[in-house]
Amino acid sequence: MKSFDAIVIGAGQAGPFLAARMIEKGMKVALIERKFLGGTCVNAGCMPTKTLVASARAAHVARNGATYGVTIPGEIAIDMRVVRARAETVTMNARNGLIGWFAGMDGMTVIYGHARFEGPKTVSVNGETLTAPRIFLNVGARPVIPDLPGVNEIDYLTSTSIIDLDTLPRHLAVIGGSYIGLEFAQMYRRFGAEVSVIEHGPKLASREDEDISDAIADVLRSEGIDIHTGASDIAFSKSSDGITVATDSARIDASHVLIATGRKPNTDDLGLDAAGVITDGRGFITVDDKLATNVDGIWALGDCNGHGAFTHTSYNDFEIAAANLLDSDDRKLSSRILAYALYIDPPLGRVGMTEKQARASGHKILISTRPMSRVGRASERGETKGFMKVIADAETKKILGAAILGIEGDEVIHGIIDAMNAGTTYPALQWSVPIHPTVSELIPTLLGDLKPV
């Protein structure tokens, strides 16, 4: 049996950084990863997908160059092998950077293999048994494949496998109208494929307010994407030239199908029962406000604990754990203000409560909206789709939440994220003097238009 001061299972966006901090403190750490360093973000999430989004945007801008007085003779062509190779390069650079970083750490032992608990303090991997007083789980999540008729008889794609696609689909059917599915839908439409989105629910991006959801749908429809919401009885069958996707109201002749109906935690084969670690009904590891499980000495970080499922929330889990365990601090999961983005173009930046949540919470709320068509920078760039929206508490003057669907919305939202984390009231933010011409300069104006509902 090999002994360590800590064992980290999973090399996503929390565990490795925590391991590095522990090594700085002179500890001996084992980092176990069953596949690739970097987790979902580096290998099958943010980095490769946003690289693909950038290629798709380049094609979109080129096709629309005449609007800006830029004429490009001939048809804009897409070389999917180059597109794929570019995304792979970005991933490999990041992964190899992590390999080099870990190799230079005295006290770090990186083990590739499938780890399983043998007890609350022991883990087996590759036929060896490891023990440590502290064990951290950062095992991530994977795509969920729903049990739909015919799904196991077709060659479907997931958000992981579609990244390796080096040919352009004739017609891509996306099953699932949430964040991952919508990003791939617009991306492949811009590459030149026909695209249909099939969503069981009544609207796209169901977490969002109805006005945001409708605006997202308008953006996608304006680029020629077919959207089928409220779809039931979804079934698949092979056809002579591809795959038939049938619903209660539509029949789609697709060449490829992307299943994007959510993700589930990679916790079902860790032997959690042997350690006594509790999970909820969906397989997420139950943690307290400091990310500790019900078993003393075991913590769960990142996607597998069900609190965020984003790279930045996973990294924040590392920050919480490191502050509490290594820096004698008192940081809590409940203090986190959730923020995220949807990377269609234009992007959606989101923080805090939706209008629906704010109304349900009992707050006396103020709301302000402003179309992007009234933003100078958006007009100058010829990108006026979307709108800004902010919700505030009428009594405390604190901002409760905001949504910015529009050009640079994923960046502009950070002004509001920072204000909310600092506890700044909206009247104070109104007196800032932003730079012109920017999208962010409209935040004080947006706040000045807050009205009761």
Same structural domain for residues 160 and 244? yes
pLDDT given at position 224: 98
Structure token digits, residue 414: 């950070």
Same structural domain for residues 135 and 277? yes
pLDDT digits (tens, 9 = 90+) for 320-375: 999 999 999 999 999 999 999 999 999 999 999 999 999 999 889 999 999 999 99
pLDDT given at position 163: 97
Whole-number Å distance between alpha carbons of 303 and 436: 39
pLDDT given at position 174: 98
Q: What HEC string does 343-409 produce?
A: CCCCCEEEEECCHHHHHHCCCCEEEEEEEHHHCHHHHHHCCCCCEEEEEEECCCCEEEEEEEECCCH
* DSSP-derived secondary structure letter, 215: H
For residue 403, what is the domain's CATH number?
3.30.390.30
* Lateral strand order in the sheet of 2-3: 2-3, 128-131, 122-125, 116-119
Boundary (domain end) residue, out of 307, 335, 363: 335
Boundary (domain end) residue, out of 214, 236, 261: 261
Q: Give the residue ranges of DSSP H helices in 223-285.
A: 272-275
Same structural domain for residues 192 and 254? yes
Asked whether the bond before 143 is cis by omega within 30 degrees of 0, the reply is no
Same structural domain for residues 243 and 369? no
* Residue (of 368, 384, 375, 383) closest to 448 by Cα position: 368
- pTM for the complete prediction? 0.96
Same structural domain for residues 185 and 287? no
For residue 135, what are the CA distances in angstroms to 139, 196, 226? 12, 44, 47
Same structural domain for residues 301 and 385? no
Backbone dihedral region for residue 167 (phi beyond 0: left; psi -120 to 50: alpha; all else: beta): beta
Burial (CB count within 10 angstroms: exposed 0-12, middle 13-18, buried 19+), residue 241: exposed
The residue to which tokens 């980290």 are assigned: 8
Number of domains in the chain: 3
Q: Are 278 and 293 in contact (CB under 8 A)?
A: yes
**One-letter amino acid of 272:** L
Distinct helix (H) and strand (E) counts, the chain: 13, 24
Same structural domain for residues 77 and 131? yes
Same structural domain for residues 169 and 52? no
Q: Write out the residue range of the structural domain in which residue 440 sits.
A: 339-452
pLDDT digits (tens, 9 = 90+) for 203-240: 999 999 999 999 999 999 999 999 999 999 999 999 99
**One-letter amino acid of 119:** G
Per-residue pLDDT of the chain (453 residues; tens, 9 = 90+): 999 999 999 999 999 999 999 999 999 999 999 999 999 999 999 999 999 999 999 999 999 999 999 999 999 999 999 999 999 999 999 999 999 999 999 999 999 999 999 999 999 999 999 999 999 999 999 999 999 999 999 999 999 999 999 999 999 999 999 999 999 999 999 999 999 999 999 999 999 999 999 999 999 999 999 999 999 999 999 999 999 999 999 999 999 999 999 999 999 999 999 999 999 999 999 999 999 999 999 999 999 999 988 999 999 999 999 999 999 999 999 999 999 999 999 999 999 999 999 999 988 999 999 999 999 999 999 999 999 999 999 999 999 999 999 999 999 999 999 999 999 999 999 999 999 999 999 999 999 999 999
Same structural domain for residues 122 and 205? no
For residue 199, what is the domain's CATH number?
3.50.50.60
In whole angstroms, how large is the CA radius of gyration of the chain?
A: 24
pLDDT given at position 36: 94
Same structural domain for residues 132 and 25? yes
Boundary (domain end) residue, out of 280, 312, 335: 335
Same structural domain for residues 96 and 210? no
Same structural domain for residues 420 and 438? yes
pLDDT given at position 11: 96
Q: Does 307 qualify as catalytic in the annotation?
A: no
For residue 153, what are the CA distances in angstroms to 150, 165, 253? 5, 20, 16
Residue 309: half-sphere exposure toward Cβ, Cα within 13 Å = 13
